[in-house]
Structure 1
């Protein structure tokens, strides 16, 4: 009887030892950590920004039957503000901008110089977002203040109102800072100018604007 009990106890101890050894050989491997993918950039919101570039100024004139055409390039720099709404990948927005320009055209034959002092627009934008890259088209109303100075006949300033259309791309560097590159064609239409009380000239003005800018998105 004692022999049987001893054998049974020995077998039990041996079995426990084998199981314990096998359990000791098992190594613990923690589950891999899955990092969450960064959230896609959302273009919805209000923004303010600045821009600078070049204005390729073109004018067709009529000085009492003399009808010259000329063009010149000047600096442009200003500010913009707008709001975007994003629906899936489609981004719709409204924007207004206003800028100073140094563009001017001179005509030595009549002794006149035309300066495009200010240029602005109010436009709608429609684009497609590739996450933090937005490509878009825009169009709307354009306006600008032009001044013609003459030698011996004084000067006159007029506001022109016309239209504009353009394309651009905007890239989000952070959740708040975006950069843009844009081209716009601007047609300011024709306006009459008076010197010494007479309608002595008319000017039909257009400009091509290439600009880069930065926006802060709120």
Structure 2
């Protein structure tokens, strides 16, 4: 029994000593687990790729004809008194569409942090149109009842759009989640028309009769292949597959501040190659 206890004590001492020696191993000090969290994929360098997209666009035509109406109503007293050109006309349009395109960029990598500059392009087709009108009457000028009717109609077709963006990401082995922001650019056909009609009816004393007055005019503006700009933002993830070949999934938001205020939201899937 005494020998058995002696052997057990000796074995226990040896086990403690062995554990103490193993505690000096790198993977027990944390470097092993830290190494697992670090990316072993080199994301640095240039890259190029293509993508397919699907999304939706919202176009606000409410104020699209204000500048045309302002030109039509210039030097007309009803405009100076009642700001007719500022009346809200038309409305919003919503549509969906698909497209395809490509991207090219360059990554700079510091351990897990990745910063990139990228040019992104999509060819698609988003078309929207809307129209509206208003009519009002006024006790103006003296001894007259005046009426004004204005209308506005517009259409917009966005065929090409993209962004020049700055990306910031964090590499996790073969995955590179990222966010981006930049300048949105696009090409659109914008066709607009504005009309007005005014009528002055004399309601004063019949002893001093005065004539009635009427007037009408229209103005159009067709801007084909019109360059539009705005800002862009979104998030995505690149997944390295093999030897520089990677997959991409992304959501992009574009806002164009042209005569027709337009937003485009798209989701896209792509395939790229990093050199």
TM-score, with structure 2 as normaliser: 0.57
Give the equivalent residue in structure 1 for 2:242: 174
Aligned length: 170
Task: Choose from 84, 89, 95 the match for 2:118.
Answer: 95
- For the 8 Å contact 1:147–1:156, the answer to whether it is kept is yes
Match of 2:231 among 159, 163, 167: 163
Does the CA contact (< 8 Å) of 2:169 and 2:177 recur in 1? yes
2:159 to 99, 117, 125: 117
1:160 to partner: Cα distance = 1.3
Select which of 209, 214, 217 maps to 2:271.
214
Seen in structure 2, the aligned counterparts of structure 1 residues 48 and 73 have a Cα distance that, compared at 3 Å, is: same
Partner residue of 1:129? 171
Q: Secondary structure at the match of 2:171?
A: strand
Deviates more, 1:54-63 or 1:94-103: 54-63
Q: Is the 8 A contact 1:187 1:207 kept in 2?
A: yes
What whole-Å deviation, never above 9, does each CA across 1:94-117 have from its counterpart, x for those lacking one?
Answer: 100111111111337666431111
Kindly report which structure 2 residues correspond to 1:77-92, keeping only aligned pairs within 5 A, or say none. Answer: 77-92=100-115
Q: Within 2, Cα distance between the matches of 1:184 and 1:118? A: 15
Structure 1's unaligned 5+ residue stretches are 1-36, 192-201
Distance in 2, Cα, partners of 1:186 & 1:209: 9
What is the correspondence of 1:169-208 to structure 2 with a 5 Å cutoff?
A: 169-189=237-257, 191=258, 202-208=259-265
1:143 is paired with a residue of what secondary structure?
strand
Matched, 1:142 2:184: yes
In structure 2, distance between residues paired with 1:88 and 1:76: 35
Instruction: Give CA deviations for 1:148-185 in whole Å, capped at 9, x if unaligned.
Output: 24699573232111111110011011122101100111
Alpha-carbon contact 2:130-2:154 (below 8 Å) kept:
yes
Q: Which has the higher helix share?
A: 2
Richer in strand (by share): 1
C-alpha separation in 2, matches of 1:153 and 1:185: 31
* Rounded Cα–Cα distance in structure 1 between residues aligned with 2:153 and 2:256: 23
RMSD: 2.3
- TM norm structure 1: 0.71
Shift in Å at residue 55 of structure 1?
3.0
Cα separation, 2, equivalents of 1:111 and 1:122 = 32
Alignment-derived partner of residue 141 in structure 2:
none
